[in-house]
Amino acid sequence: MKYLILKHYRGNPAPYGDAAPMDQWSPEEVDAHIGFMDDFAKRLEGTGEWVDGQALSPEGTFVRYDGPGRPPVTDGPFAETKDLIAGWMVVDVDSYDRALELAGELSAAPGRGGEPLYEWLEVRPFLDNPTTIDE
């Protein structure tokens, strides 16, 4: 079963503990964090659970169709007012519990002073589970 693990810039529950943004960390703290993420991905490849993952720029723009012959309407970027996705990871695991376990480990990625981030992550199942056959 595949799950999407979503990192949010905001739109998540109230942060736990020190939630200073990454640009206020020391370079060593940033390196430690990124190294943890890379190791995590490598380890999941080793367990056969890795599918994909990507960090995203905080700059997002909402776009919509605005009628025939008209350019699309854009909204923003107003990064400070919206729920933004900071990055995502897709894992292919045997159970929902395993997906939660992995998200839990990811949430403990090191932050300032090497302390766990206690970051909120959202876990969403993919809608592609095979249909058990019966009619």
Partner 1 sequence: MSAAGGVVDEGLLRTLTPAVIGVLCRRGVDFATAEDAVQDALVSAWRSWPDDPPRDPKGWLVTAAWRRVVDQARSESSRRRREERVGVEPEAGPVTSTDDTLRLYALCAHPSLSPSSAVALTLRAVGGLTTRQIATAYLVPEATMAQRISRAKRAVRDVPLDRPGDLATVLRVLYLVFNEGHGGEVDLAAEAIRLARQVVDLTDEQEAAGLLALMLLHHARRDARRTPAGAIVPLREQDRSRWDTDLVAEGVGILQRALARDRLGEYQAQAAVAALHADARHVDETDWVQIVSWYDELVRLTDSPVVRLNRAVARAEADGPRAGLAALAALDPGLPRYRAALAHVHEKDGSTALAADLYAEAARLATDTAERDHLTRQAARLRSALSSGEREDRPRG
Interface with partner 1, residue 47, by CB under 8 A: yes
- Report DSSP letters for 45-111, one per residue: HHHT-EEEEEE--S---EEE--STTSPPEEE---GGGS--EEEEEEEE-S-HHHHHHHHHHHHT-B-
Binding-site member from 9, 25, 50, 88 for partner 1 (CB under 8 A): 50
Binding-site member from 31, 39, 45, 66 for partner 1 (CB under 8 A): 45
Binding-site member from 2, 25, 82, 86 for partner 1 (CB under 8 A): 2
How many CA atoms lie within 13 Å of 80's alpha carbon, on the beta-carbon side?
0
Kindly report the backbone phi and psi dihedral angles of residue 56, in degrees, each rounded to the nearest multiple of 5, phi listed first: -120, 150
Count of residues touching partner 1 (by CB under 8 A): 22
With CB under 8 A as the contact rule, which of the stretches 6-14, 64-72, 107-115, 124-132 interacts with partner 1? 124-132
**Residues in touch with partner 1 (CB under 8 A):** 2, 44-52, 92, 94, 125, 127-135
